[in-house]
Structure formats: structure tokens, C-alpha cells
Structure 1
Amino acid sequence: MKFFISVFMALMLAGCGYKPVSKITKEMTGESVYVDVIISKTEPKNSVWVKDAVKEGVVSRLNKTLSDDQNADMSIIISVGSLSYQAAVYDQYGYITSYRAILNLNFKTRLKDGSVVNITTSGEHDFSIARRLQNTRYADSVISDTERYEAIKEASKEAFDEYIANLALKGYQNGSRNR
């Protein structure tokens, strides 16, 4: 019975025109990628953290090599649209114990064929914060640099995953559907 179900699923996927996202993006992007981030004047450290997370995503998720601007098949210029922190969870005393980082990124992408695509994405990450006791009363909840870094990194990864999905969808819609 499992054999028949497996054969049926394989025929359904083949008949429906299923094509993996990795194959669609490979056809559009080439082998080498240049990544740069427009540094924010108000929060330059955040821009560097975003760049690191996106470079890691290019290498690990897309299996591409990083290159300089002149030798790259594709280039991605990222700008941080906004970064905000919202209180997510409060304790019984009304102190914030968890925040949600919300990051909006714009990816200006020059593809292998020379066309330029702008994709705006967002990523979120919930994280707990450390609270310190001060004179037996809870002190204000403060977000440390380490917590901010992890939140921005994880939100950037989520935004990058959304970017890959949008890029594949655009490629599929613009004629990469040929098998």
C-alpha cells in the first residue's frame, strides 16, 4: 500500500509541475553573490549584524560563494527599513520579560541576466530578557547588546528566508518555469 501511495504522490508532483525553490533560484542567480548593506546613520551596528546574517544565509541556504562586486553573477544591496522592539510578555508585577524584534529589510537585487528586482521583507524574533534584582525590587528590564544581536540575527534570517521565497516566486512568474 505504501508503494502505491508513493507512486501516486510522485506522479502528482510531476504532473502538477512541481519545481524546487533551489532549482528556480539557481537558474536566476548564478554561482557567486556580492552582498552589501547600506549602513544606517542612526544604528550602524545593526547594519553590520544584518550583513553578517545575510552573508551566512547566502552561503548556507543558497550554497553560493561570496564575491566582490565586479566578479559576482548576482548582487544584493540591503537597506534596513525599520527595526523596532515591542513588549511581548509581562510578569505578574507588570515588568517586561520578553520582547519581539521586528525588522523590515529591502533587498535590491541585480540578477544574473542583469535585471533588477526590489523585494521588501520582514522578520520577527521573540526573546526573553534578563532581569536583575535591585534592593529586593525588580529593576527596569534592559535589552543587552548580546540579546539585541541575537534578535537582529534571527529576524534577519527570517527576512532572508522570505526574500528567497519571493525571489523564487518572481523567477517562476517571469519564465523560469521551463523544465
Structure 2
Amino acid sequence: MRFVLGFIFTIFVIGCGYKPISKIADSVLDDRIYVDVIIDKSEPKNSVFIKDAVREGIVSRLNKILSDKQNANTFISVSTKSLDYQATVYDEYGYISAYRAILRLEFKTKFKDGKTENITTSGEYDFSIARRVRSTRYADSVISDAERYEAIKEASKEAFDEYISRLALKGYKYGSN
């Protein structure tokens, strides 16, 4: 009975034309990709974190080759539109104990045929902070560099996933060319 149900499910999935987003994006993007992240003058460290997350996503999720500018067929330029931290949880004394990082990125993609596509995405990441008690009356609710790095990295991954989804949908809607 399990075999029959498995066979029917397989036929259904194949018959409905299911195609993973990564495969659709694969048909839109060429194999050699150059990634450039525009450095934000107010927060230059964040740009490095974002570039690492985007490059990791291209290699691990899409199985593409990162290339230098001269040999690339697809160019992706990423710029930070905004990075905000919102307090989400307060403790019993009114001190902040958790934040949400909200990152908006703009991806400018230039394809082999010369067409360009601008896609703005956003990513969020909720994280708690380690409170340091300085005295019996005062606690510190400051985001450490490690917590900030992790928040930016995870929000960048989420924004990159949204970028791939939107790019794949456009490729599916208008064809891979």
C-alpha cells in the first residue's frame, strides 16, 4: 500500500510540473557570477558581513562559481538601503532584552545579454542580547559586535533568499531568457 501511495505521489509531483526555485534561478543566472557590495560609509563593517552572506548563498544554495569581474557572465551589485534595530522584548525592569534586525538590500543584477534587474528585498532576524549588570540599579542593553554580526548575517541570508525567489519568479513568468 505504501508503494502504491508513494508511486501516486511521485506521479502527481512530476505531473504537476513542480520545479524547485533553485532550478528556475539556475536557468536565469549564468554559471560565473561576480558579486560586488557597495560599501556603506556609515557602517563599513556591515558591508563585509553582507558580502560574505551573499557569496555564501550563491555558492551553497545555487551551486554557482564566484568569478572575477573579467570572466563573469552575471554581475550582482548589492547595496544596503537600511539597517534598523527594533526593541522587541523588555524585561520586568523595562530594559531591552531582545531586538529585531531589519535589513533592506537592493540587488542590481546585470545579465549576460545586457539586461538589468533591480530587486529590493528585506530580511529580519530576532535575537536576544546578553545583559550586563553594572550596578544594582543600572543594566546595560547594548548590542555586542558578535550579536550584531550574527543578526546582519542571518538577515542578509533571508534577504538573499527573497532575491532568489523573486528572480526565479520573474524568470519563470517571462522565460529563462
TM-score, L = length of structure 1:
0.93
| Aligned twin of 2:148 | 148
Q: CA deviation at 1:75?
A: 1.0
| Aligned twin of 1:92 | 92
Contact (CA 8 Å) 1:28, 1:112: kept in 2 or not?
no
SS class of match (1:137): coil
| Aligned twin of 1:174 | 174
SS class of match (2:75): strand
Q: CA deviation at 1:119?
A: 1.0
| Aligned twin of 2:25 | 25
Provide the aligned C-alpha RMSD in A. 1.5
Q: CA deviation at 1:28?
A: 1.5
Partner Cα separation in structure 2 for residue 117 and residue 2 of structure 1? 46
Structure 1 stretches of 4+ moved >4 Å: none
SS class of match (1:150): helix
Q: CA deviation at 1:130?
A: 1.3
> How many pairs are equivalent?
177
Q: Which runs of 5+ in 1 are unaligned?
A: none
Q: CA deviation at 1:146?
A: 1.2
- Show CA shifts across 1:29-61 (max 9, x none): 121110011111211111121111111111111
Deviates more, 1:78-87 or 1:10-19: 10-19
Query: CA separation of 1:73/1:5 partners in 2, compared to 1, >3 Å: closer, same or farther?
Result: same
Q: CA deviation at 1:134?
A: 1.5
| Aligned twin of 1:120 | 120
- Show CA shifts across 1:35-91 (max 9, x none): 011111211111121111111111111111111112112111001010000001111
| Aligned twin of 1:111 | 111
